Amino acid sequence: MKMKKYVAAMSLALSGIAISPTTWAAFPNAGVDDVQSLAQFKVTFTKGFAFYLRDEMGAPFCQGYDSPADCPTGARTYTSPMLYEARTKVGRSNPHRDGDSTDEKNGAHICKTGSSSSCSTYFSATDEPITDKHFQWKKGAYQADGHPFDEGPSGREEIHTQAVSFKLTPLRGGGGANAVRAGDKAPCQARSLGEVESLNGDGFPAESFFQMYVDVDVDMNNDGKVDMVLFNEAGTRGTIVNGDPLIIESTGLTSFPPKVIYSHTGRSGSKMAPKLFTRKSTDPTKCEADTQNGHIGWLRIATHGISFGPENGITRSVKGVRDGKTPDQCQEGEVDEECMTRYFNSLPMMPIPTEEDIPFCDPKDPACIESVDLEFVTAVPVKNSVAVSWATTSEIDNAGFFVWRAQKDEAGAYTNVVKLTNELIPAQGVSHNGISYSYVDSSVESGNTYYYGIEDVDIRGKSKIHMELIPSATVK
């Protein structure tokens, strides 16, 4: 009997999901917060896609402009209505220490079903536990610059979080079928993950960030039908490393569930706004992306008020009480909806790269064709390098190529994705018969297996990574 008890105790300790330190101050054990929330966002479409939406779908973009090149950002930016969800669900892990084995090596087990004070099942039953490696731009990205989220010194108490269920729809009538989805409401998307870290070392007050992979349902004419599904660059399913998430951040958390407004805004040194792409189907379970035209816009600003609702009473700016990001965020006498609207309207938008604001290639236009057909791609290890070769069967309006490299983790997902060529490998001229190309990757390490992808770019700036031809090579 004693041996059975000992084995059971060891099993719980090794699982990492049943043992919670009793000496830490305020963070509770794993659970799921079930809260109401408000949100808004802005999307800026590329010049060409805005014209396409205007001419084909009657969208109110680029009015009075004859050429896509002349259409300014303000004339092709869509602002969503105020969105609402009565039951947004966010899972939490047990607390651990920043930099410890749970944080860096073993991973935190995040609760999938349960209450705010207990957990029934964990995501790790089917998905890997979450370590720091799953958070984008974490190392060196969050500095003590006065902006949330400021990564603190190692040893602070923290938890890892994940969006369980997330679907925000228009709060008022007339918003049609517009929605923002994540978690189990966006089955094609990657996991939306976050971190909450103590500001003082143990427990509350705390700061947090979330990296969101979202589907945006767009009902352009508000007829109750989804016209297109937009998503930020993330691939499909799984846990994406080196993706392009929407980062939303906040300070001033004082409890779980928190009452706080997260914001995604333009800040000094911040990354460009996440690119948006379209899917071929509006069916939320069909994941195939429409890669014909590359990205069609950017998600430039977003706010999300957790524990905020349309009839949530009065929020006050009382000294020592932080309903939002700063004590003066929600003013005396404002209801939640008024506070969210005013704060959203005051935020700057994330920058977009003007050199990538490329024309949209209308599929009805005969000129909208694939510029390059690849015959093969090979990768062969040669001494301390890998020789990558590829050949085209046809090239039309091709400007050149980029070479990408990746590795795979234990789950088979691509990781350590890098662009090996900063400048285009130039095309060798227009050809209908094909041309051969090569590149030598000398930045490899012995014993590693690498995967290579070829991206072609046409003279209009449209690009495509040929995921159908990904060779691998193991360096000896």
**For residue range 286-319, what is the model confidence (pLDDT) as tens digits?**
888 886 667 889 999 999 999 999 876 666 654 4
CA pair distance 260, 249, nearest whole angstrom? 10
pLDDT at residue 185 in the model: 95
The pTM of the full predicted model, rounded to 2 decimals, is: 0.71
Least confident of 9-18, 128-137, 437-446: 9-18
* pLDDT beyond 60 at 99: yes
Residue ranges of the domains in the chain?
Answer: 31-356, 372-474
Q: Which residues of 428-443 are buried (b: 16+ CB within 10 A; e: fewer)?
A: eeeeeeebebebebee
CA pair distance 212, 182, nearest whole angstrom? 7
Q: Exposure of 119 by Cβ count < 10 A (0-12 exposed, 13-18 middle, 19+ buried)?
A: buried
Q: Which tens digit of pLDDT belongs to each residue from 313-364?
A: 666 654 445 555 565 578 777 888 988 998 898 888 888 877 667 656 655 5
CATH of region 372-474: 2.60.40.10
Half-sphere exposure of 412 (CA within 13 A, CB side): 2
CA pair distance 425, 418, nearest whole angstrom? 16
CA pair distance 382, 251, nearest whole angstrom? 51
DSSP state of 102: I
Number of H helices, E strands in the chain: 4, 28
Q: What share of the chain in percent tops pLDDT 90? A: 41
The secondary structure of the chain in percent helix, strand, coil, rounded to multiples of 5, reads: 10, 40, 50
CA pair distance 372, 369, nearest whole angstrom? 9
**Residue 77: helix, strand or coil by DSSP?**
strand
